[in-house]
Amino acid sequence: MDNKIISGKIVSAQIKEQVRAQVVSLNEKGIYPKLSVIIVGENPASLTYVKGKHKDCAECGIISDNIAMPDTVSQAELLAEIDRLNKDDSVHGILVQLPLPKHINEYAVINAISPEKDVDGFTAINVGNMNIGKDCFTPCTPQGCLDMLDYAGVDLEGKDVVVIGRSNIVGKPVAVLALQRSATVTICHSRTKNIAEKTRNADVVIVAVGRAGFLTGDMLKPGAVVIDVGINRNEAGKLCGDADFDSCIDVVSKITPVPGGVGLMTRANLLKNTIKSAENCLKQRKN
């Protein structure tokens, strides 16, 4: 069983090792990579995710600051804070944790972030550049899915990939990245007729629907690879993915676990993007 599991712990540890070395090298050149995280309100999941991001930064020598705002904050106040961070040369990455309260326009807030500091890769400029295959900040979770496939030696060229979920954060961008690797990509969603019919033909299934145990072993072709993006809690309160691990494990050739899978890769790619931004600053300074 163990040889079927693609461990996010191992892959993210490798990335963090690399990031640590890059931070040392940047520090020697007088650049101190810094990530600013804005969190609005007290959504428990968001608080947990943000805590993990700061912990990773600390482990890798990246400076991180936490800007906590109450859920009564106005959009204007939030935009003013982003403007301040955009202008602060010591800040390389800006992240606004989602979701935001209902009275705030998420699109306006995200697109107020300078694309050069948009380490989540959520601004329209970065999404557009990714879609046309130009240099950009690629979004952290989709990139993490590809990193795990790379680590497992799964070449996507010519493969049938089924993505379940069409969110802007995961489903759509991961489909684009798989297409750029020359996969044949099918995107399934809540209105798709007979999802199992699609997944049974897939070499790789990437599932990001936010429903515990949605993907079951009988929906898979023997030897398929499953990338599980879900982070859910089951009735017993236990953390689990969108794939029903116990029924999938006997069918798949590889699968990512939850916890210890894609979630760790999201965090690792945030570190990578922050370093990329800091390195871009160094390049600009040299020019």
What is the smallest separation between the CB atom of 283 and ligand GUN, expressed in angstroms?
25
DSSP string for the chain: -GGGB--HHHHHHHHHHHHHHHHHHHHHTT---EEEEEEES--HHHHHHHHHHHHHHHHHT-EEEEEEE-TT--HHHHHHHHHHHHH-TT--EEEEPSPPPTTS-HHHHHTTS-GGG-TT--SHHHHHHHHTT-S----HHHHHHHHHHHHTT---TT-EEEEE---TTTHHHHHHHHHHTT-EEEEE-TT-S-HHHHHTT-SEEEE-S--TT-B-GGGS-TT-EEEE---EE-TTS-EE-SB-HHHHTTT-SEE--SSSSHHHHHHHHHHHHHHHHHHHHHHHHH-
Please identify, among the stretches 65-73, 89-97, 149-157, 272-280, the one whose residues bind ligand GUN according to the rule CB under 6 A. Answer: 89-97
Contact mark string toward ligand GUN, 254..283, x via CB under 6 A: ------------x-----------------
Binding of residue 176 to ligand GUN (CB under 6 A): no
Q: Least distance from C-beta 221 to ligand GUN, angstroms? A: 30
56, 81, 116, 120: which one binds ligand GUN (CB under 6 A): 120
Do 180 and 208 form a contact (C-beta atoms < 8 A)? no
Does 78 engage in binding with ligand GUN (CB under 6 A)? no
Q: Rule CB under 6 A: is residue 116 a binding residue for ligand GUN?
A: no
Catalytic residue among 16, 22, 34, 97: 97
Please say if 97 is a catalytic residue: yes
79 phi, psi to nearest 5 deg: -65, -35
**Cβ pair 265, 8 in contact under 8 A:** yes
Distances (CA, A) of 204 to 36, 126, 224, 232, 254: 35, 26, 6, 21, 9
**Residue choice 22, 97, 199, 269 for contact with ligand GUN (CB under 6 A):** 97
Q: Among 67, 98, 125, 239, which residue sits at the site for ligand GUN (rule: CB under 6 A)?
A: 98
Considering the complex, what minimum distance in angstroms separates the CB of residue 78 from ligand GUN? 13
Stretch that binds ligand GUN, among 18-26, 92-100, 257-265, 279-287 (CB under 6 A): 92-100
Interaction between residue 73 and ligand GUN (CB under 6 A): no
| Residue (152 or 169) nearer to ligand GUN, CB | 169
Reading the block at residue 268, the tokens are 């690792």
**Catalytic residue flag (residue 53):** yes
Of 6, 78, 96, 176, the one binding ligand GUN (CB under 6 A) is 96
- Residue 60 or residue 220: which is nearer to ligand GUN going by CB? 60
* Region from 3-11, 76-84, 94-102, 191-199 binding ligand GUN, contact rule CB under 6 A: 94-102
Which of these segments, 3-11, 66-74, 96-104, 251-259, binds ligand GUN (CB under 6 A)?
96-104
Residue ranges that bind ligand GUN, judged by CB under 6 A: 95-98, 120, 140-141, 169, 266
Active site residues: 53, 97, 120
